[in-house]
Structure 1
Amino acid sequence: MLQACLNGSRTAEEHPALPLSPERLAEDAADVAALGVTSVHIRPRDVIGALTLVGPEVATTIATVRAAVPGIEISVSTDVPGNRAPLIASWAALAAGRPDVACVRVAEPGWRDLAEALHRVNVKVELVVEAPAKLQDLPAGVSRLTVTATRETAESLLSVVEPLGLPVLLYGRDSDAWPVLDYAAVLEHHVRMGLEDTLHLPDGRRAKNNAELIALARRRQRTRAPS
């Protein structure tokens, strides 16, 4: 799987093509879906542009993206300040505005409670592992393990998550984004790419948009995978 991470917590000042509104996210999702992407990871914003988990605001973003790309997996992050469990509980009534998957960072205090809150509202859990951690007895609903790594730390982190037997998505950020993508492709793990992770192409040039990053990532994934 190649997942497109469309915006992250970046601001409009960082890149002119960064999609922040529901409409712009839907446009980018349609563009990357045409390139073969089957999963998008997005960070919904409120009316003033702040990251949000508030039910109606999440629902507006998810429903707009889903209308543009029916059937694609939509993932969101729970990495937002504040008391998140009650906000997630409100997602139970969102129907088409509810995400399919939500990421939970294992490094955060109370991550198990957050994962359980997501499971109660029928949202699959994607655990994000950034450092070695004890992951025995995973909470219900965990469907994927996402490893945030550098090329130097990837092997040791994979040694922690691979024995758990769940699908693994491996990615890096900024200068590590392309080297880690190449390494993950060789290992045939899931990968991701987009303006959340890097604003640049491997040669250092600024990427035009998410579609340019995804098109190149798809080519590299195919050429580096074992034949």
Structure 2
Amino acid sequence: MPRWSKHGRRRGEVAVLQCCPNGARPVGVTPALPTTPDDLARDAAAVAALGVRSFHVHPRDEDGRESLDPQVVAATVGAIRQAAPSLEVGVPLARWVEPNAFRRTGLVQEWAGLPSHRRPDVLAVSVHERGWETVCEAVASVGLGIELGVWTTGDAVQLRLAGVPVNTVRIAVEVTVTDPDTAVAEAVRLLRALQPLPVPVPVLLHGEEDGAWPVLEYARREGFDTRMGFEDTLYGPDGIWTATGNEELIRFALGQPVGPRTGPRRSPRRGLFGGGLRFGRSRAAHRG
């Protein structure tokens, strides 16, 4: 029988670093936000070269709006696959794009009918969304992977009681507390509420906005899978300078050097050390 770590991976498996390049960010929030298939393919190739293994992308139509249309998804995934064939490509079955759970299950069938090089490997489903179990059943029925989003302790308890759906490749624990001084404490609460799971599943832990870097640091120190990209934050770990792109954010996440900071910056905020988060030195990272 395989031996499993406390994080749901087989012993000896290396933690995954996922890139989330755009999310639901509005077009123009930063010039470097990738929205077109070509932009996303460029970023996918860049981060794959750095060792990223998973790419969680929100496809956009020609007007830059999020879309679940099969042809939009096919164009986006196909471009990414051509640029970075080794990447796992994940797409969210977003309720805010299609509120009807039954329609989302229909989309699963349509996506499954796409050519293999143009369909996603993993579909993201959030536990707090009505109908999530039905959607997961539809995903599993066509042989695609599931990334379960857990945002609250209530979500964690619900998942434990319901059981982990078939074809779940990971559970994404999403810390929505953005205060850098308390985000890690919230992460610990979520992780505790999630245990014990009836079956071992890898856990990907990540934060957002000013909580993104403390949570990433905690996740990497504790051996969890994690992620970084413009979906989670627009800023480097100092909290001041706008990142020049997803490649730069991934380099920061890996502890690699980056070029001089010359992009747009925001005013220092109270509560951040020296006006910004100092990667590796945040107080929140030493809690839990």
Same fold (TM over 0.5): yes
Deviates more, 1:43-52 or 1:59-68: 43-52
Question: Aligned-pair distance for 1:58?
Answer: 0.6
Cα distance in structure 1, aligned partners of 2:193 and 2:86: 32
Question: Aligned-pair distance for 1:216?
Answer: 0.7
Match of 1:148 in 2: 174
Q: Given that residues 27 and 64 in structure 2 are in contact (C-alpha distance below 8 angstroms), is that contact kept between their aligned partners in structure 1? A: no
Give percent identity, aligned residues only. 43
TM-score, normalised on structure 1? 0.93
Cα distance change, pair 30–178 in 1 and its aligned pair in 2 (3 A): same
* Residues 147-182 of structure 1, C-alpha deviations (whole Å, 9 max, x = no match): 011322111111133422210000000000000001
Cα distance in structure 1, aligned partners of 2:70 and 2:195: 34
Q: How many residues align?
A: 222
Match of 2:48 in 1: 33
Of 200, 209, 213 in structure 1, the residue corresponding to residue 245 of structure 2 is: 209
TM alignment of 1:1-227, pairs within 5 A: 1-79=16-94, 80-82=97-99, 83-94=103-114, 95-132=116-153, 133=155, 134-135=158-159, 136=161, 137-149=163-175, 150-164=183-197, 165-203=200-238, 204-219=240-255
Query: Which runs of at least 4 in structure 1 moved beyond 6 Å after TM superposition?
Result: none
- Whichever residue aligns with residue 63 of structure 2, its letter is I
Cα distance in structure 2, aligned partners of 1:86 and 1:23: 27
Gaps of 5+ in 1: none
Cα distance change, pair 98–162 in 1 and its aligned pair in 2 (3 A): farther
TM-score, normalised on structure 2? 0.74
Gaps of 5+ in 2: 1-15, 176-182, 257-279, 282-288
Q: Given that residues 104 and 111 in structure 1 are in contact (C-alpha distance below 8 angstroms), is that contact kept between their aligned partners in structure 2? A: yes
Deviates more, 1:37-46 or 1:74-83: 74-83
- Whichever residue aligns with residue 98 of structure 2, its letter is P
Question: Aligned-pair distance for 1:186?
Answer: 1.4
Structure with a larger share of its residues in helix:
1
Q: CA RMSD in A?
A: 1.6
Considering only CA atoms, is the larger Rg found in Structure 1 or Structure 2? Answer: 2
Deviates more, 1:42-51 or 1:31-40: 42-51
Q: Given that residues 161 and 168 in structure 1 are in contact (C-alpha distance below 8 angstroms), is that contact kept between their aligned partners in structure 2? A: no
3-state SS of 2:137 partner: helix
Cα distance in structure 2, aligned partners of 1:213 and 1:98: 26
